[in-house]
């Protein structure tokens, strides 16, 4: 299959590697061209513009950082929409507001191109190993066509309904993630201030009926003071803002998530936005006057 893949951050680079390993012909593009080099060395072809990247593709895939990147890469000059043609299928794997997905679907339909929104759960390791969890919105028959393309990238794939429902599910899932990060930070700080050993606490959290992979992974990095980036804190804030917008759109209460969003915002404002999402807990540590270690 001829695939164009645009956006080679932590997530996109891993996905392209798995597409190449699955035997697909992949043309890549990234705003920072140097990021294409390792994938070209593995057999990908590099394009100079989004329009050039998608010109000869059967499937157009992209994972972009935010709504502004979608505006530039999809709708902008020499963007994807200026290069696509009838018969292609576009797959947006970015985390965006569902209204953005719906806007994309309308624009692609005018070009005779089918569209699905297919954001992913997981981060650096899952992207590299084909272990992502993908949630999809769009026409069911289009989903069935592209499912074999998504399978080498994923542990599971979930069809959620019409256009925008994949994007909606991603924000709902990230609401849980943000809440868990806040809960982990508050609980670990309380434990430390009350005299418990943080590693002993993590050992208990690992085996209880409320255990969580997020508690395991982030808890360990907190104790080690390792905030190397798998998913940047600044993107967690972006997602928290999108969740707040979605909640407002639906008149849905999110008091706990709103509180967690303020923690994330404070951490970004302290200059930790490029660090891992677990750096949000540093803002709570500042309030407490301790570090979890």
| Residues classed as catalytic | 170
Angle between helices 165-193 and 280-288 (to 10 degrees): 30
Q: Which of 32, 72, 102 is nearest to 81 (CA)?
A: 72
DSSP state of 250: T
CB burial string 214-250: b at 16+ within 10 A, e below: bbeebbebbbeeebebbbbbbbbbbbbebbbebbeee
For the chain, what percentages of helix, strand and coil (3-state, to nearest 5) are there?
Answer: 55, 15, 30
Cα(227)–Cα(114) distance, integer angstroms: 40
Which CA distances in Å does 277 have to 14, 207, 217, 273? 19, 24, 11, 8
CB under 8 Å to 186, separation ≥6 — which residues? 284
Q: Which residues pair with 25 in a beta bridge?
A: 2
Cα(73)–Cα(6) distance, integer angstroms: 8
DSSP 177-233: HHHHHHHHHHHHHHHHHTT--HHHHHHHHTTSTT--HHHHHHHHHHHHT----SSBH
């Amino acid at each position: 299959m001829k695939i164009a893949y645009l956006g080679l951050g932590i997530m996109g680079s891993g996905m392209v590697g798995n597409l190449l390993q699955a035997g697909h012909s992949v043309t890549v593009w990234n705003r920072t061209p140097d990021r294409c080099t390792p994938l070209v060395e593995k057999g990908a072809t590099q394009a100079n513009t989004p329009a050039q990247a998608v010109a000869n593709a059967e499937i157009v895939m992209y994972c972009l950082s935010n709504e502004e990147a979608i505006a530039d890469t999809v709708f902008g000059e020499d963007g994807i929409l200026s290069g696509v043609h009838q018969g292609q299928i576009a797959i947006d794997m970015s985390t965006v507001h569902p209204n953005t997905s719906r806007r994309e679907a309308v624009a692609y339909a005018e070009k005779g191109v089918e569209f699905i929104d297919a954001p992913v759960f997981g981060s650096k390791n899952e992207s590299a190993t084909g272990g992502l969890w993908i949630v999809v919105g769009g026409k069911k028959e289009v989903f069935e066509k592209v499912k074999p393309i998504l399978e080498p990238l994923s542990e599971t794939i979930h069809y959620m309904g019409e256009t925008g429902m994949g994007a909606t599910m991603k924000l709902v899932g990230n609401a849980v993630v943000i809440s868990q990060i806040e809960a982990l930070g508050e609980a670990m700080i309380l434990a430390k201030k009350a005299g418990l050993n943080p590693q002993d606490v993590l050992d208990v959290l690992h085996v209880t009926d409320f255990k969580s992979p997020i508690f395991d992974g982030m808890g360990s990095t907190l104790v080690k003071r390792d905030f190397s980036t798998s998913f940047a804190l600044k993107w967690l804030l972006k997602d928290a803002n999108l969740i707040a917008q979605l909640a407002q759109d639906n008149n849905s209460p999110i008091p706990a998530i709103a509180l967690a969003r303020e923690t994330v915002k404070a951490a970004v404002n302290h200059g930790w936005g490029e660090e891992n999402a677990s750096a949000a807990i540093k803002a709570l540590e500042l309030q407490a006057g301790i570090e979890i270690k």
